[in-house]
Each structure stands twice: as structure tokens, then as C-alpha cells.
């Protein structure tokens, strides 16, 4: 079971990070009685990456936790985009 999870995670991160970094990542957990195999499919679209996890709750939980922690880190890091324009505005008024 551990090897299956590690292999699935390797498939997920095998894409170049630049492709995944600036896109919305959607993870779908699909459960089917008709399909007995476990699989992970990664679909790259224009502005999103969709990961379909079939019949494998452990991989779904792992990938969801990674995406959740990534979003938390993005919210915690301060964005300095507006500080430069703020400084420019203050300097132009003085």
C-alpha cells in the first residue's frame, strides 16, 4: 500500500513545478464499485490542474493535505506587491 501511495505522489509531482505552482489545483476522489483498480490521473488544462483519484482514500487525503498546506503557506506569507505602490504614493505626496 505504501508503494502505491508513493508512486501516485511521484506521478503528481513529476510535472514541472512551474506548471503546477501558479494554477488552481482541484482534487477529485472518485469511488466506483465497477472499477476495482486504484488509479490516479492528472489532467492539465489552461488554468487548472485536476487530479482524479479513483478508489484510493489514502492518496486523496495525502494530496488534499499537501494542497491545503500550500494554500495556508500562501496566506501566511506577506505579499509585497502593494507596498511598492504605497511607497510611491507616499513619496509623490511629500
pLDDT digit string, tens, across residues 13-71: 665 655 556 667 788 888 888 877 788 888 877 778 888 888 888 888 888 888 888 77
C-alpha distances in Å from residue 53, one per residue of 9, 15, 74, 84:
11, 17, 25, 42
pTM assigned to the model: 0.54
b/e map 43-66, b = 16+ CB within 10 Å: eeeeeebebebbbbeebbebbeee
Domain that holds residue 72: 2-93
Backbone angles phi and psi of 46, in degrees to 5 = -60, -55
Does 91 have pLDDT greater than 60?
no
Does 87 have pLDDT greater than 70?
no
Amino acid at each position: 500500500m505504501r508503494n502505491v501511495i508513493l508512486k501516485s505522489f511521484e506521478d503528481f509531482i513529476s510535472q514541472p513545478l512551474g506548471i503546477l505552482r501558479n494554477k488552481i489545483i482541484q482534487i477529485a476522489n472518485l469511488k466506483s464499485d465497477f472499477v476495482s483498480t486504484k488509479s490516479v490521473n492528472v489532467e492539465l488544462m489552461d488554468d487548472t490542474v485536476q487530479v482524479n483519484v479513483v478508489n484510493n482514500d489514502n492518496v486523496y487525503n495525502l494530496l488534499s493535505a499537501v494542497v491545503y498546506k500550500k494554500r495556508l503557506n500562501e496566506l501566511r506569507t506577506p505579499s509585497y506587491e502593494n507596498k511598492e505602490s504605497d511607497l510611491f504614493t507616499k513619496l509623490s505626496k511629500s
